[in-house]
Structure 1
């Protein structure tokens, strides 16, 4: 991960309309050596074949390269779920002397546990920490530890109050904790299902999609600065107005056999890819 100095990023910000702009050229070009190492991890035989099939929708090599994840970095993967990205990050960081943490609540660690049971050598070094950490008994990552924090398709869950009995939005607190985890100059990489800016508040709280402007507002309120956006994970076929929200599309296919071929032809959701930095001063 390249350390960023404090400078004006106005030319890199998304337009005032809050629509996603074409990704600007990074301040320092990603090295071909780093990309080659990421691609090697993506090609690792340790990956689950069903996960490999989804590379065409998730573009893992291009995404991790865009987020400038270097093999020697300390990385926190927030809510890794079944471990789709963990299967790539673990061998990549292990080969380069990096460190991987999994930030998740107790109920969100089953995927990591399965990976560790299947291959203790490859995944055993991944350390789990509580995220979000809401009480003093939680196991927190010490402040200023991480070079990179990554979260894939999770901000909408926090916005929806997912897994909270009161269904209250806890996204602001999640961003505050991610900010604290990072070293100054560290990168926060976010991929999430993109909702049109014209959509209603209700759709943002129920559809599984979220607006770019909302993610920016949350990140900037926590202290982050947006430095780049990318269309790596865009899907223009996704109109975002499906009967069961984003879960209508693959991989969930919430309607099961109803219009299955139609939704398979659309593919996975249209996604924003945003890179933020924790300022150095």
Structure 2
């Protein structure tokens, strides 16, 4: 089962652009048919990104997300302990888990903190767990934890070499838990450990909406939150920049691929909406940042 990107708004969890009360990949193709799980062979970042277990839809997004370059910028190494916050349907897990499993590393995956009163969020988590189970020989022992308003540690204190925030800070701002995410990441990291950030980049100089309703966050705002939590800025990259992104789209960042909203979130799609303009832009302009926990 392929799940779309997820997002959080004041309406709650957004799955596939539809509000569920708590955003998008294309349809399956023949290349996406389940493959027999294989035991993880020794991987490099390049071979993990090139793995034939990744779906064609996921591989098509490499031109926008630059996983090889990004992971090297964040200093991913064999045998590390890594924490991937809110992995969603597992786009990056498909790369991280085989790499770490084959190099005697460890992956923690703090998913949505879901409960029985929120079936849509619970299904996102359950689908992710099914993926881990179905590919356990390839993925190794990925440990699912939770992150949310009342969650505990995302990984044992001081255990992680690398923590990743991958296009989720806007979700946490909408839910009022962004500051908690930075604090929880700091607690999980070893002294000298790295926090890697990929996030939709807002227009510099504007007043930042604290709920990030359009999905964009100013880079200076992210740096400020990280520093307030105790992190030290350690670098930035334009790996995931997109100068075509004007950041003024009718339905926020979700107007762009891969979500391609054509109506306000939670409302039915508009059949006559002109997607061509936004498809020509491609995926969003993104900051790529690195922070370090003080030694």
TM-score (norm 1): 0.80
Partner of 2:179: 172
SS for the counterpart of 2:180 is helix
Tell me if structure 2 keeps the 8 A contact 1:59–1:232.
yes
Deviations 1:215-264 (A, max 9, x none): 11110011000110000000000011100000000001001662212211
SS for the counterpart of 2:128 is helix
Shift, 1:49, TM fit: 1.5
Which of 285, 288, 295 is the equivalent residue of 1:270? Answer: 285
Question: How far apart in 2 are the matches of 1:174 and 1:64?
Answer: 20
1:41 to 2:48 alignment: yes
1:186 to 2:193 alignment: yes
Partner of 2:156: 142
Shift, 1:53, TM fit: 0.7
Which of 103, 116, 126 is the equivalent residue of 2:142? Answer: 126
Shift, 1:118, TM fit: 2.7
1:109 to 2:125 alignment: yes
Question: How far apart in 1 are the matches of 2:157 and 2:210?
Answer: 34
1:89 to 2:105 alignment: no
Structure 1 unaligned segments of length 5 or more: list them.
Answer: 1-35, 162-168
TM-score (norm 2): 0.76
Question: How far apart in 2 are the matches of 1:202 and 1:189?
Answer: 23
Tell me if structure 2 keeps the 8 A contact 1:76–1:102.
yes
Alignment CA distance shift 1:73-1:133 (3 Å): farther
Partner of 2:250: 243
Alignment CA distance shift 1:203-1:217 (3 Å): closer
Partner of 1:57: 64
Query: What's the RMSD between the two structures over aligned residues?
Result: 1.8
